[in-house]
């Protein structure tokens, strides 16, 4: 059962609103005895932090995380780890206009309908601010994975902004950290900068597609049938604000493939199976193959824009609404570290689940000397 909790064995429960006193999360089920301080988590938060360049919201948040429980003398104790991040830059007046109106394309109206009230300050619980908690929890997951599965590496990057996809022939991993869009295509970085600048000037916003890749994932993570690795990844990514689609490997394009083309053929390699392709995105039957796990998700454009849009008020009046404030013209940019965090949470959770059920034993392929 869930609501605001995510995970089976490594479980994250998040809380907090955009303009409340603080946000945070409880991370339960963490393996004990691992080194963990705020310094292991903060760098991931810093990547997501708003206001770092002109392409993200200018809200200024230090996003300093504090560990309130679950560690002793710098080691995890196996008990719940509470993470807290103070909200320091709340300008509630920015949001006064929307307290009575519903931004089209935003959760304003559904929260109102379901709960009868909502916290209008910055979107309240539905704000992308909640994703800071995910990134913080993901920082713990990454720290644990670095010890338990040291070969595992998670990398997120943007592969499309608006209608403009990257050219995969220019894919350069080193480029990802060099541009504000976390894109591996240097030409796209240049083009998108111009494109996004114009969009913002025209009081508009735009969507994006993010790809998260995990290499070094051992085979055997996942579980039939409703806790499949891809099923949990889909839930994880779709639970991020503004995400409208999730793909594994070929994703929606798998529909257009034939069985002959889609088969990831296998040859026996030195250390086990060698796959000739990876249409499957590293997951077959809900269980990891050992190939890179590849997941993509689409982020819709921010609904909070300066262009007037038709909507209604809580008392049933038609109105045209402009959303002032400090909003991301492409909220997909900051979704990159969020997607990485969700990937880390899912993979660690399934690694622990697998250790619980199977002890980590793996079926033999090839001679026993392998």
Contacts of 15 (CB under 8 A, 6+ apart): 4, 23, 24, 25, 133
Strand partners, 102: none
Q: Which residue has the tokens 């509470």?
A: 82
- The answer to whether the CB of 54 falls within 8 A of the CB of 1 is no
What minimum distance in Å lies between the beta carbon of 71 and a copy of itself? 8
Cα(first)–Cα(last) distance of the chain, in Å? 41
What minimum distance in Å lies between the beta carbon of 174 and a copy of itself? 25
Which residue, 74 or 173, is less far from a copy of itself as judged by CB? 74
Q: How far is CA 43 from the centre of its chain?
A: 16
What minimum distance in Å lies between the beta carbon of 336 and a copy of itself? 13
- Burial class of residue 131 (count of CB atoms within 10 Å of its CB; 0-12, 13-18, 19+): buried
Say how many C-beta atoms besides its own lie within 10 A of residue 49's C-beta.
20
- With vertex at residue 201, the alpha carbon angle to CA 95 and CA 60, rounded to the nearest 5 degrees, is 45
What minimum distance in Å lies between the beta carbon of 178 and a copy of itself? 22
Distance, CA of 75 to CA of 69 (rounded, Å): 11
Which residue, 1 or 174, is less far from a copy of itself as judged by CB? 1
Which residue, 215 or 277, is less far from a copy of itself as judged by CB? 277
Which residue, 44 or 102, is less far from a copy of itself as judged by CB? 102
Dihedral (CA of 128, 129, 132, 134) sign: negative
What minimum distance in Å lies between the beta carbon of 105 and a copy of itself? 4
What minimum distance in Å lies between the beta carbon of 135 and a copy of itself? 14
Which residue, 171 or 235, is less far from a copy of itself as judged by CB? 235
Which residue, 154 or 240, is less far from a copy of itself as judged by CB? 240
């Amino acid at each position: 059962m869930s609501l605001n909790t995510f995970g089976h064995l490594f479980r994250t429960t998040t809380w907090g609103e955009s303009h409340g006193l603080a946000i945070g999360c409880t991370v339960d089920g963490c393996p004990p005895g691992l080194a963990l301080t705020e310094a292991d988590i903060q760098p991931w938060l810093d990547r997501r932090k708003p206001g770092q360049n002109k392409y993200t919201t200018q809200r200024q948040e230090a996003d300093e995380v504090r560990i309130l429980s679950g560690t002793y003398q710098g080691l995890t104790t196996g008990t719940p780890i509470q993470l807290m991040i103070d909200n320091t830059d709340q300008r509630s007046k920015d949001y006064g206009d929307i307290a009575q109106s519903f931004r089209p394309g935003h959760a304003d109206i559904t929260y109102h309908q379901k709960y009868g009230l909502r916290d209008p300050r910055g979107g309240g619980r539905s704000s992308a601010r909640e994703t800071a908690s995910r990134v913080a929890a993901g920082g713990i997951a990454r720290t644990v994975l670095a010890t338990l599965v040291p070969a595992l590496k998670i990398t997120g990057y943007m592969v499309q902004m608006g209608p403009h996809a990257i050219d995969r022939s220019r894919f350069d991993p080193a480029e990802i950290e060099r541009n504000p869009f976390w894109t591996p295509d240097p030409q796209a970085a240049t083009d998108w900068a111009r494109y996004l600048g114009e969009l913002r000037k025209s009081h508009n916003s735009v969507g994006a597609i993010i790809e998260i890749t995990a290499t070094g994932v051992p085979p055997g993570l996942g579980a039939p049938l409703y806790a499949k690795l891809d099923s949990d990844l889909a839930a994880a990514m779709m639970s991020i604000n503004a995400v409208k689609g999730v793909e594994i490997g070929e994703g929606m394009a798998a529909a257009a493939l034939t069985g002959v083309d889609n088969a990831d053929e296998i040859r026996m390699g030195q250390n086990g199976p060698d796959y000739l392709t990876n249409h499957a995105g590293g997951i077959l039957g809900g269980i990891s193959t050992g190939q890179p796990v590849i997941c993509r998700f689409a982020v819709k454009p921010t609904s909070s824009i300066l262009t007037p849009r038709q909507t209604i008020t809580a008392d049933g009046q038609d109105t045209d609404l402009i959303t002032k404030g400090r909003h991301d013209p492409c909220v997909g940019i900051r979704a990159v570290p969020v997607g990485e965090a969700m990937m880390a949470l899912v993979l660690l959770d399934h690694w622990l689940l697998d250790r619980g059920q199977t002890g980590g034993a793996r079926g033999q392929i090839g001679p026993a000397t392998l």
